[in-house]
Chain A
């Protein structure tokens, strides 16, 4: 039985002397996985490696049990929307998607039917007969997505797929990703718009300088990096007194008092110990109105992990 995962084992890729990715080991299960990292971090390199556009200098990759060096089988189950337009000059959106399908061995009729269906799924039927060169950035993004999904792949790889989409289309596109993921398929996408990743991903892979620095569900990733303090916002009446009590705990690294003196921003190395301490303080009669985790979104993670953290 073939593995339903995308597996990277000790994969390294250099472009001459320039590092692409270094000793990457990953197991990507089905669902929506986001690759997050700044420009030049290696996101596209990982995507190109898993689709066989480039080959690793060392290590091994399998995509649902298939090698990227076997495009004949791999590309039947994989659709990849790159950042670049592949449509020849003068081609309409419909022609671009349908001619691509001919290379999969579909008949002209079947290719046209599938192309139309794919364009419908990305809400591009009205512009289907217009030339791709005349499309807006968002429309180009959608026609690339239509091209990638037209053969109904099990693995969908998308490089910055939400760039340039208006809010309505973005919501539709995210719904499409969820539908794909819900059917047990892989949707691997890259983004540096972190809020998008936060909302849509089942798991996230954080990458910087060609190295994976964290992977998993966003909450799990946050917990994995226990060496970085977690941030909590506490609303309370006696902020100064609570701050002094918390400072007695050695896992508390920093406390900031709000200007209204009704709130605290606390950095802790141990979420569990911090939770227990807060319970004790509350039981001692100090009024605590609310406790909010301040850094469970990807922005905060990103700041910690890639931007250097605190």
Chain B
């Protein structure tokens, strides 16, 4: 490619970018990218409000840890003081009084359950658990961003680059300019890639920030000094490479097929059964590579069935280098097929 061709690719991409970013049909892509942030922000606000509300009624952790099953509620109240929550009710049939006392030690919320005035059980839950929240983020990233948001976001963005314009009867605008079809394809792909990458990496980064925001500043600082920057980088890289891979697939699908549901279902199935496929075929999957780049494995409950476990986890993660090169290889192959298809693409909006 010479300079003039590169300039033409960039001009096409710039013009196309405006159409991608400001199209009405892009709205749901933004919503997909930002949805998890809303949940994390909601969680953060809720926890912060609780912390502030209970700040004046903190019970020392040592006192709470010393409370034993079998103690009376009066004894607990005498030792631990006024709880942050005190609820009681009577079971009509059993004719026993139940009481729940909730205490806060500055980090944990401790629930004490009494029956007829005797402590029967206790549970504690950390209000903001950094370790747990990072695992939740890893799960959200892999199960929501990679498998749903980036997949369907790229479907929406890249399928529309050609097929959407064919439906809008505007594709001839691009075909009637002095540019080779491959250059047009490259420009449009670049526009879709910039848009999708920005939307999803920014979405995932905002979500990451929303996860960190309510955490203990000291823990966050320690995290930033250790794995934080590397984790953020690899999440961003995985999101961007997801857009690279899925973008190329859906761009090609938009050139070859009329109905976006068909490639979406086929690819979703293919990606879904990836764990069952032979090693060679696993490498023909976008998810296989981008999952391998994720820095934290997603949480998996021990009671998840083995079949589901296979579907959700990559069989044998590739190294970062292999994952990046493999994904770029798959993308190059798909884009090469797309360039052949775009050369043959004809515009026929209807009869003359």
Binding site for B on A (CB under 8 A): 15, 39-45, 48, 51-55, 71-76, 78-80, 82, 84-90, 99-100, 102-105, 159
* Chain B min CB distance to A125 (Å): 22
Report yes or no: B352 in contact with A84, Cβ–Cβ below 8 A: no
Docked complex Cα distance between A53 and B352 (Å): 14
Report yes or no: A44 in contact with B179, Cβ–Cβ below 8 A: no
Known: A71-B179, A74-B178, A80-B176. A53 touches B11 (CB 8 A): no
Docked complex Cα distance between A73 and B180 (Å): 9
Q: Residue-by-residue, is B172-184 near A (CB-CB < 8 Å gives 1, otherwise 0)?
A: 1101111111010
- Pick from A55, A84, A88, A102: contact of B19, CB under 8 Å: A88
Docked complex Cα distance between A169 and B193 (Å): 44
* Chain A min CB distance to B215 (Å): 43
A40 closest partner in B (C-beta): B351
Report yes or no: A86 in contact with B170, Cβ–Cβ below 8 A: yes
Docked complex Cα distance between A1 and B305 (Å): 75
- Pick from B178, B349, B351: contact of A76, CB under 8 Å: B178
For A100, the chain B residues whose CB sits under 8 A away are 173, 177
Q: Which of B37-45, B60-68, B340-348 contacts A (4 or more CB under 8 A)?
A: B340-348
Q: What is the count of residue pairs linking A and B with beta-carbon distances less than 8 angstroms?
A: 85
Docked complex Cα distance between A39 and B350 (Å): 11
Report yes or no: A85 in contact with B4, Cβ–Cβ below 8 A: no
Report yes or no: A102 in contact with B15, Cβ–Cβ below 8 A: yes
Instruction: Using A71-B179, A103-B12, A103-B178 as known contacts, list a sample of 8 further A-B pairs with CB atoms less than 8 Å apart, ordered by residue number in A.
Output: A71-B176, A71-B180, A75-B178, A80-B172, A84-B170, A87-B173, A90-B22, A104-B177
For A74, the chain B residues whose CB sits under 8 A away are 178
Report yes or no: B12 in contact with A48, Cβ–Cβ below 8 A: no
For B15, the chain A residues whose CB sits under 8 A away are 99, 102-103
Docked complex Cα distance between A79 and B173 (Å): 11
A51 closest partner in B (C-beta): B176
For B120, the chain A residues whose CB sits under 8 A away are none
Interface residues of B in 158-175 (CB under 8 A from A): 169-170, 172-173, 175
Is B8 an interface residue when CB atoms closer than 8 A count as contact?
yes
* Chain A min CB distance to B82 (Å): 61
Report yes or no: B170 in contact with A53, Cβ–Cβ below 8 A: no
5 sampled A-B residue pairs with Cβ under 8 A? A53-B172, A72-B183, A102-B15, A103-B15, A103-B179
For B351, the chain A residues whose CB sits under 8 A away are 39-40
Interface residues of B in 171-217 (CB under 8 A from A): 172-173, 175-181, 183
Report yes or no: B352 in contact with A45, Cβ–Cβ below 8 A: yes
* Chain A min CB distance to B123 (Å): 56
For B179, the chain A residues whose CB sits under 8 A away are 71-72, 75, 103
Docked complex Cα distance between A76 and B176 (Å): 9
Which of B15, B172, B178 has the largest count of A CB atoms less than 10 A from its CB? Answer: B178
For A104, the chain B residues whose CB sits under 8 A away are 177-178
* Chain A min CB distance to B19 (Å): 5
Docked complex Cα distance between A99 and B13 (Å): 12
Is B79 an interface residue when CB atoms closer than 8 A count as contact?
no
Docked complex Cα distance between A75 and B15 (Å): 18
For A52, the chain B residues whose CB sits under 8 A away are 175
* Chain B min CB distance to A80 (Å): 5
Is B7 an interface residue when CB atoms closer than 8 A count as contact?
yes
Report yes or no: A71 in contact with B352, Cβ–Cβ below 8 A: no
Docked complex Cα distance between A78 and B175 (Å): 12
Interface residues of B in 1-53 (CB under 8 A from A): 4, 7-8, 11-12, 15, 18-19, 22-23
Report yes or no: A53 in contact with B344, Cβ–Cβ below 8 A: no
